[in-house]
Amino acid sequence: MPSNHAKSDSDKLDRIVAEARRNRELREKTYREQALKIHPWICARCTREFTRASVHLLTVHHKDHNHDNNPPDGSNWELLCNYCHENEHSRYLDNDGRVETGSGAERGPQASYKPFAALKDLLKGKQ
């Protein structure tokens, strides 16, 4: 049977987890409602349109992947359907948390090995 100290620690942890979940749900509700007022009910990736009956399938995606970055103008949000949102987060995880940008200049160092660099010289003798 667990000691009173262990039970107390477990109860405290349960309260902390419950409070964190409540806070997250409140935060999500607030920015979701704001995003749905600001943005049209269309998936920003696949352009599927949503109605009041299907809007529950539309999610708020944080462009910078920081769920605490919720500017009131909605500039860090885009509405994505469940499928596109899952795909976006999978791509983010596949890239080790690096947010993909438009040009390669912002990305980290690229591979420098060129496996076919000497191919032209090797083929000269085969012709």
Whole-angstrom Cα distance, residue 50 to residue 60?
13
Which three-class secondary structure state does DSSP give residue 119?
Answer: helix
- Residues constituting the chain: 127
Q: Do the domain assignments include residue 88?
A: yes
The per-residue pLDDT for 3 is: 63
Query: Considering the domain boundaries, does residue 93 fall inside one?
Result: yes
Q: Phi-psi bin for 104: left (phi > 0), alpha (psi -120 to 50), beta?
A: alpha
Report yes or no on 90 lying in a domain.
yes
Domain count, the chain: 1
SS3 80: strand
Q: Is residue 35 part of a domain?
A: yes
pLDDT on residue 101: 47
C-alpha distances out from residue 95 to 62, 82, 120, Å: 16, 20, 33
Q: What is the pLDDT of residue 78?
A: 94
Its pTM surpasses 0.75:
no
**One pLDDT digit (tens) per residue for the chain, 127 residues:** 556 667 788 899 999 999 998 887 777 678 888 999 999 999 999 999 999 999 999 999 999 989 889 898 999 999 999 999 999 988 877 777 565 544 444 444 555 667 677 777 877 776 5
Domain range holding 32?
4-100
In a domain, 112, yes or no: no
